[in-house]
Chain A
Amino acid sequence: MTTKLFYDLFALAVFAVVIVVGVPFLMGFDGFELNTFARYLALGIVSLALALSWGSAGLLNLGQAATFGMGSYAMAMHLKLKASGDALPDFMGWNNVPELPLIWIPFHSLGFTLLAGLLVPAFVGGLIAMFMFRARIAGVFVAIITLAFLVAFQLVVIEQQGITGGQNGLTGLAPLSLLGWSVDTYDVSFYYLVAGCLMAAITVGLYLTHSKFGLILRAIREDADRTRFFGYNVANYQTVIFCISAALAGWAGMLYTLVLEFASPTYMSVSFSLAIVIWCAVGGRDSVIAAAIGAIIVNLLEGRLSDVFVEGWNLMLGVIFVLVVMFIPRGLHGLIGDLWKALNNQSHKQRANEAEPKLQPQPVKSGQEK
């Protein structure tokens, strides 16, 4: 076991204890408070999904919110059908849709919904990735293409009112029932469901970053051409990580719909997508755990501070973000890493200083004696 893996597993263990035991205890096992916290945990998953593509492979995906939205709509469609029973979902009546559109039909099944929430984003992400990376598009252009895709996708969702509910999104959803267990979002058990998902996602992320696959991704990030000369198919690696990142984002989207009990096209807005980037950057894009913590911290602060400074909060977020980008580009994770190194160096130096007098003769004193 390498030191880095040990360090990451240790961090995961501490994080798990805090999330599973610490937070519910601090909140006094209050269902309402835990529901808000579950929201932050769901956002933690999408932030760590971005860390996988941005931190490991250096692909800044500004369209992460699109895949997040796909997951959240998949879940919302299932719950909407459940709420409507045999009747047509209410908004379709308002839009003069005569019968259930074809793509809605399979969402009666929960199994299909869960699969679709993961695979549809992965598939779409994979298509975009293949489209871009086969042509060796890199750097800023990846950001621009994914951004343009996001804008177009949000427009499509708003445009297709009859199928997606347009600007209003999908509201009035039924609670999810999972293997006979009816999920109450204001219950402690729901919090543990989301926390378990976050832990699973972090484990997947850690496994990926510590595998050979993760090593090759980092090589691609540092120098794509050189990795190509070693015989690796760079485009395939980039495509796979894009798919995985998209699937995780879809997963986060499904949980987010469960927490908030509606799906809205604002989940696919440019500002939401860049907010994900902010969380990931604040936490530290090099580590999946740090990225998730970044999302939790920023959202927690937002939840607490926006009550106090209603208008000022966004201003503070902007200032914090600019400062993070300027002075700690590797996020809190990088900051802690640097501090740790500095401390280690200092203690080494101290030890070295203590050792010094024994080793060296004292020529100055002997000079004075003469």
Chain B
Amino acid sequence: MDVILNQIFAGLSMASILLMIALGLAIIYGAMGVINLAHGEFVMLGAYAAWALQTYAGFSIIVALPFVFLAVASVGWIIERVIVQRLYHRPLDTILATWGIGIVLQQLVRLFVGAESRFVKGPEILSGNIEIGGLIMSNYRIFVIVFSLAILAASWALMTRTEFGMKLRAVIQNRQISECYGIEAKHIYSITFAYGAGLAGIAGALITPLFSTIPTMGTGLVVDAFLVVIVGGLGSLLGAATASVLIGEATALFSMLLNDTLGRIAVLAGIIVLIRFRPKGLFPSNTRR
């Protein structure tokens, strides 16, 4: 029983990490149809930014978060302005271009920071565990779960309760008509891309105590996050949340029943089958495109 509870918690913890990474991706993909393979590198940049802030300025991760968000968001903004903006009418090519950007970012980090693994301390207040019976939950992981839910809520509010969100939804539905009403679609796209990148940065900063920080850390994450987005359905925030819980828990469950690798293989196979039968994901949005 305890084993199962602990696995459920491990699954939730993984789901929260996936959710934070996938959320930015879902927003970018949903809003502009851009498959951003550089997203993993944004996560990696966030992790390195957190590391740099901790080693050179002595910031704890939580204090560093707003700075990390701004830094990675501005990198995203520049990339959108210079490269991605020219490729909106060629969705397959955005896959390739963003992969190229990913290679460049990875190599830049390797050149200027080095290829060796970096270590970031978790915050002092959140060290330690909560134990309920046999269930052991690390405080930091609980914090990450709560924080990911907060980000989900904030993104949802941004999309539905602000003027910017309204403009974004208008542009998603019909770019030409929105431009007729004086909405600057280009501008909206840039900000959206920057926001998605910033979220990836935050995710990267938060996972530094849990993962090892190396230049290639993003490549594995981006594939998983992508599957979450596709399974969840195009541009659906709630879908992304559900899919990340589903995938996180399924991975934890299969890992317990089989082993880690076979668990991952089983989840991937399940996802392939799911995409085949529901290519629009579990929660397709109803907007016409």
Which residues on A are within 8 Å of B, measured CB to CB?
60, 131-132, 135, 137, 139-141, 143-145, 147-149, 151-152, 155-156, 158-159, 270-271, 274, 277-278, 281, 311-312, 314-315, 317-319, 321-322, 325-326, 329
Shortest distance from the beta carbon of B130 to any chain A beta carbon, whole Å: 33
Residues in A with CB closer than 8 Å to B101 are 318, 322
Task: Please give me the residue from chain B that is nearest to A154 by CB atom.
Answer: B265
Partner of B269, one of A60, A152, A314: A152
Residues in B with CB closer than 8 Å to A311 are 107, 110-111
A-B contact pairs, 17 of them (CB 8 A): A131-B276, A140-B95, A141-B279, A148-B223, A148-B271, A149-B268, A151-B223, A151-B268, A158-B261, A277-B96, A277-B99, A312-B107, A318-B102, A319-B100, A321-B96, A321-B97, A321-B103
Which 8 A-B pairs give the minimum distances between C-beta atoms? Answer: A318-B103, A318-B104, A321-B100, A322-B100, A315-B107, A152-B268, A325-B97, A159-B261
A314 touches B103 (CB 8 A): yes
- Interface SS of chain B: helix
Shortest distance from the beta carbon of A312 to any chain B beta carbon, whole Å: 7
A155 touches B261 (CB 8 A): yes
Residues in B with CB closer than 8 Å to A135 are 276-277, 279
A139-B92, A152-B265, A312-B111 given; A144·B104 CB < 8 A:
no
Residues in B with CB closer than 8 Å to A148 are 223, 227, 268, 271-272, 275
Chain B residues 251-289 with CB under 8 Å of chain A are 261-262, 264-265, 268-269, 271-272, 275-277, 279
Task: Please give me the residue from chain B that is nearest to A128 by CB atom.
Answer: B272
A155-B264, A159-B261, A326-B86 given; A137·B100 CB < 8 A:
no
Task: Please give me the residue from chain B that is nearest to A159 by CB atom.
Answer: B261
Question: How many angstroms between the C-alpha atoms of A315 and B137 in the bound complex?
Answer: 42
A318 touches B107 (CB 8 A): yes
Partner of A141, one of B96, B261, B275: B275
Partner of A140, one of B91, B100, B107, B111: B91
Partner of B272, one of A145, A281, A314, A329: A145
Shortest distance from the beta carbon of A278 to any chain B beta carbon, whole Å: 8
Residues in A with CB closer than 8 Å to B104 are 315, 318-319, 322
A60-B92, A315-B107, A322-B83 given; A145·B276 CB < 8 A:
yes
Question: How many angstroms between the C-alpha atoms of A321 and B226 in the bound complex?
Answer: 22
Shortest distance from the beta carbon of A351 to any chain B beta carbon, whole Å: 36
Question: How many angstroms between the C-alpha atoms of A273 and B100 in the bound complex?
Answer: 13
Choose among A152, A278, A325 the residue with the greatest number of B CB atoms under 10 Å from its CB. A325
Shortest distance from the beta carbon of B259 to any chain A beta carbon, whole Å: 8
Question: How many angstroms between the C-alpha atoms of A147 and B220 in the bound complex?
Answer: 12
Question: How many angstroms between the C-alpha atoms of A159 and B107 in the bound complex?
Answer: 29
Question: How many angstroms between the C-alpha atoms of A270 and B268 in the bound complex?
Answer: 14
Residues in B with CB closer than 8 Å to A281 are 96
B272 touches A149 (CB 8 A): yes
Question: How many angstroms between the C-alpha atoms of A284 and B184 in the bound complex?
Answer: 35
B277 touches A318 (CB 8 A): no
Question: How many angstroms between the C-alpha atoms of A325 and B99 in the bound complex?
Answer: 11
Question: How many angstroms between the C-alpha atoms of A156 and B86 in the bound complex?
Answer: 39
Choose among A141, A143, A322 the residue with the greatest number of B CB atoms under 10 Å from its CB. A322
A137 touches B219 (CB 8 A): no
A60-B95, A140-B95 given; A271·B90 CB < 8 A:
no
Question: How many angstroms between the C-alpha atoms of A158 and B265 in the bound complex?
Answer: 11
- Judge whether B230 is part of the interface by a CB distance below 8 angstroms: yes
Residues in B with CB closer than 8 Å to A277 are 96, 99
- Judge whether B108 is part of the interface by a CB distance below 8 angstroms: yes
Task: Please give me the residue from chain A that is nearest to B96 by CB atom.
Answer: A325
Task: Please give me the residue from chain B that is nearest to A146 by CB atom.
Answer: B272
Question: How many angstroms between the C-alpha atoms of A318 and B100 in the bound complex?
Answer: 5
Chain B residues 214-230 with CB under 8 Å of chain A are 219, 223, 226-227, 230
B262 touches A159 (CB 8 A): yes
B276 touches A315 (CB 8 A): no
Question: How many angstroms between the C-alpha atoms of A312 and B103 in the bound complex?
Answer: 11
Question: How many angstroms between the C-alpha atoms of A274 and B40 in the bound complex?
Answer: 15
- Judge whether B35 is part of the interface by a CB distance below 8 angstroms: yes
Shortest distance from the beta carbon of A235 to any chain B beta carbon, whole Å: 13
Question: How many angstroms between the C-alpha atoms of A317 and B223 in the bound complex?
Answer: 21
Shortest distance from the beta carbon of A328 to any chain B beta carbon, whole Å: 11
Residues in B with CB closer than 8 Å to A322 are 83, 97, 100-101, 104
Task: Please give me the residue from chain B that is nearest to A326 by CB atom.
Answer: B86
- Judge whether B93 is part of the interface by a CB distance below 8 angstroms: yes
Residues in A with CB closer than 8 Å to B146 are none
